[in-house]
Every structure is written in structure tokens, then in C-alpha cells.
């Protein structure tokens, strides 16, 4: 029986390593070489190839080959590792925020996700999540939505053009066609960041001011990742100008 404990420890160590390898592959959107993976894990290249073969045998959709690189296709999950107290609290707090500050579909998804996470935790960690002393306290009620946020998220994910009726700050009703790229959740408001075809510029639309909306056929002509980069760059530049103006004059 002297060899049992080293065998068990080696099995546990390899299981943890496989989970680490899975998380590493998830972080990469482009193929990563076996040598880079092996170096980060601190194992030999031969051991890495065995681990890749093992995960493929368990159903992981890992494409690639030696000398080319590896990429994990979506759709495969492994049980999570145990969470620390701070991680469990962060998950519980984040779930509370989503429940209180988003729409019905995301709130339901948050409750479901937290239930799944709790089910995978040992009993003591599960209890810590249930009786966490951290709570989200809403400062004011959120504005009622004028549009189905699920429809907006669908358009964002599919890179689809969205036709909307929008009431601006001057109470003027306008018809817009936008390319939605992001949805921001504030304490009271939800804001869609999008490229506006009529303005030929990035604009922000409060969802409580969107009266009607429907998704148009076909994807918008540019990739959302490219638009996001441009929007972020423009947003940061604008904030820098605002800070400079405030510093010089004390007002905008």
C-alpha cells in the first residue's frame, strides 16, 4: 500500500494541470504553440501532447497539431476548482447586481448560474455564498425599459443592424438605423453604444427612450470588434478632453 498515496497525489496533480491547461486555452483567441503552453505549465512538450490527447478523448474540441499551435473551440466545460472565500463573495455580489440592475432574462440567468456554481461547491463554501454579508443596495429605482433588452443583445451578438424609434432629450421622435456594439448598465439607465447611420458617428441611446425596435436582415458591414476598438478610442479621447477642460476652466 506504500505506493497508493503517491499515485493518488499524481492523479490529483494531473487533474489540476488539465484544468489549468483548459483555462489557458480559453484565454487565447488564436492558436498558441505547444512549447508556450508547456513552458507556462512547467512540463515537458511530450507531457503536453499527452494532456492534449487526454482532453480530446474527454470531448474537448481542441484543434491544431504540433508545430502549428492549438485552439480550443467553444462548447466544452469542466467542473470548476474550489473557490476561495473572496471568490465566492465576489460571485454572490456580482449575481446580486445582475439580478437588481438588468432585465428579467439576465436576472434569471444570474440566479441559474449562481445555483450551478453553488451546486459544484463543497457544503461549507455553499453556505458562505448563501449567507454572504455583502449586499447590493439600490440607490434609486431603475427606469422602465422601452425596448426588449434581449432583442438588443441578440443584435449585438449577431452584428445585426437595428431599426429604432428614438425620443431624444428634446422630446423629438426620430427614426434611426444603428449598428449596436455594446450595452452599458448604469444604476438607473441602460445605454446602447452604436454607430448611427443617419449621424455617421458613434452615438449612445438610452433604452428607456427607444420606443420600437426590430432587427434588420443581414449583418452590418464591419466587424463589431473593429467598431469597439474605434468607439473605445474615441470615448477615451473625449474623456481626456473633458478632464482638460475641467482643469482649465472648472466647467464644461
Render pLDDT for 132-158 as a digit per residue (tens, 0 to 9): 666 666 666 566 667 888 899 999 999
Residue, of 116 and 243, whose pLDDT is higher: 116
- Reported as a single tens digit per residue, the pLDDT across 180-229 is 999 888 877 888 999 999 999 999 999 989 988 999 998 999 999 899 99
Separation of alpha carbons 80 and 38, rounded Å: 22
Task: Write the DSSP symbol of residue 189.
Answer: -
pTM equals: 0.56
Name the nearest CA neighbour of 66 among 31, 29, 27.
31
Using the predicted structure, report yes or no on whether residue 51 has a pLDDT greater than 50. Answer: yes
Using the predicted structure, report yes or no on whether residue 248 has a pLDDT greater than 50. Answer: no
> What pLDDT score was predicted for residue 163?
95
CB of 103 within 8 A of CB of 149? yes
Separation of alpha carbons 207 and 204, rounded Å: 9
> What pLDDT score was predicted for residue 202?
93
Number of H helices, E strands in the chain: 8, 7
| Cα 166 versus chain centre, distance | 27
CB of 146 within 8 A of CB of 161? no
Let me know how long the chain is. 252
CB of 149 within 8 A of CB of 102? yes
Handedness of CA 233, 239, 241, 243 (dihedral sign): negative
- DSSP character string of 7-38: HHHHHHHHHHHHHHHHHHHHH-SS-B-HHHHH
Name the nearest CA neighbour of 177 among 137, 208, 214, 128.
214
Positions of E strands within the chain: 62-65, 69-72, 160-167, 173-185, 190-196, 201-206, 210-219
- Reported as a single tens digit per residue, the pLDDT across 65-93 is 888 899 988 765 545 555 667 777 788 88
> What pLDDT score was predicted for residue 178?
95
Phi (first) and psi of residue 211, to 5 degrees: -85, -55
Amino acid at each position: 500500500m506504500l505506493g497508493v498515496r503517491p499515485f493518488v497525489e499524481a492523479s490529483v496533480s494531473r487533474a489540476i494541470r488539465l484544468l489549468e491547461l483548459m483555462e489557458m486555452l480559453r484565454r487565447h483567441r488564436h492558436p498558441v504553440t505547444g512549447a508556450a503552453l508547456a513552458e507556462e505549465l512547467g512540463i515537458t512538450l511530450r507531457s503536453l501532447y499527452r494532456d492534449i490527447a487526454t482532453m480530446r478523448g474527454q470531448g474537448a474540441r481542441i484543434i491544431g497539431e504540433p508545430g502549428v499551435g492549438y485552439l480550443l473551440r467553444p462548447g466544452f466545460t469542466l467542473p470548476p476548482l474550489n473557490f476561495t472565500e473572496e471568490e465566492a463573495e465576489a460571485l454572490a455580489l456580482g449575481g446580486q447586481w445582475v439580478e437588481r440592475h438588468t432585465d428579467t432574462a439576465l436576472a434569471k440567468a444570474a440566479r441559474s448560474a449562481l445555483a450551478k456554481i453553488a451546486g459544484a461547491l463543497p457544503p461549507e463554501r455553499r453556505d458562505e455564498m448563501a449567507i454572504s454579508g455583502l449586499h447590493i443596495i439600490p440607490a434609486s429605482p431603475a427606469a422602465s425599459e422601452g425596448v426588449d433588452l434581449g432583442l438588443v443583445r441578440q443584435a449585438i451578438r449577431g452584428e445585426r443592424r437595428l431599426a429604432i424609434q428614438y425620443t431624444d432629450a428634446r422630446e423629438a421622435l426620430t427614426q434611426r438605423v444603428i449598428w449596436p456594439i455594446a450595452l452599458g448598465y448604469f444604476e438607473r439607465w441602460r445605454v446602447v453604444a452604436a454607430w448611427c447611420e443617419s449621424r455617421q458617428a458613434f452615438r449612445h441611446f438610452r433604452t428607456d427612450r427607444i420606443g420600437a425596435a426590430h432587427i434588420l436582415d443581414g449583418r452590418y458591414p464591419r466587424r463589431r470588434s473593429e467598431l469597439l476598438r474605434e468607439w473605445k478610442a474615441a470615448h477615451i479621447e473625449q474623456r481626456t478632453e473633458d478632464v482638460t477642460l475641467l482643469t482649465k476652466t472648472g466647467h464644461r
